[in-house]
Amino acid sequence: MNEQATAQFWDEMYGRAGRVWSGNPNPVLTREATDLAPGSALDAGCGEGADSYWLARRGWRVHAVDISAVALDRAASHDEPEIADRITWERGDLTALVPRPKAYDLVNSQFLHFPRAVREPLFGRLADAVAPGGTLLLVGHHPLDLDTTASRPAEPDLYFTPEELVATLDPDSWDVLVARADPRGGKDREGRELTLHDTVLRARRRT
């Protein structure tokens, strides 16, 4: 099993710090989901919960899933009682999770990186969970990042392009609204500036 697919790996990573991520929602989510009408959402790989809370504040009912109990405890302890009942936290292994088919108006997956043999069935199950008229939003590190000094695993099989994601969707069932590599600024461990690229897919289910 890929080390980064285990609960132990993620519990240890989250346990080494009081907070691992910024606490802000992912920028691609805020850009691509701002105009969506609130409904039910699956936040797959929710981590410390910033995306889930952003959605809940906007009126979404969120099913937030992550493999790390440490991350989920941290997320659930966030003090926003007025929206707490809009989020259901679940510890689950996404490599085995089978969400209810066509159950969510939005499925959000940010930076889930597994080998292709695991990733494609996983993303297929996430796509199956999108309701008719709903949105699938998949975001990840683009293979171009391997050509930079960014702190990334040197395993090409973990990365994916927009074209690869589009190819997995049935064109008779989906409208692809966004499929691109988004550039953004970043820094490596030595503080050197570099350009990173995020793979972004946003698609709407027809049927």
- pLDDT tens profile 154-173: 999 999 999 999 999 999 99
pTM: 0.93
- 22 vs 62 pLDDT, higher one: 62
| CB of 71 closer than 8 Å to CB of 47 | yes
| Residue carrying the six token digits 């440490």 | 70
* Alpha-carbon gap, residue 11 to 199, rounded angstroms: 26
Q: Is residue 152 part of a domain?
A: yes
* Whole-number CA gyration radius for the chain: 16
pLDDT in tens, 28-80: 999 999 999 999 999 999 999 999 999 999 999 999 999 999 999 999 888 78
Task: Report the CATH number at residue 169.
Answer: 3.40.50.150
Over range 141-155, report the average pLDDT. 93
Q: Is residue 39 part of a domain?
A: no
Q: Is residue 22 part of a domain?
A: no
Name the residue range of residue 168's domain.
Answer: 93-187
* Alpha-carbon gap, residue 168 to 99, rounded angstroms: 18
- Residue 138 has what pLDDT? 98
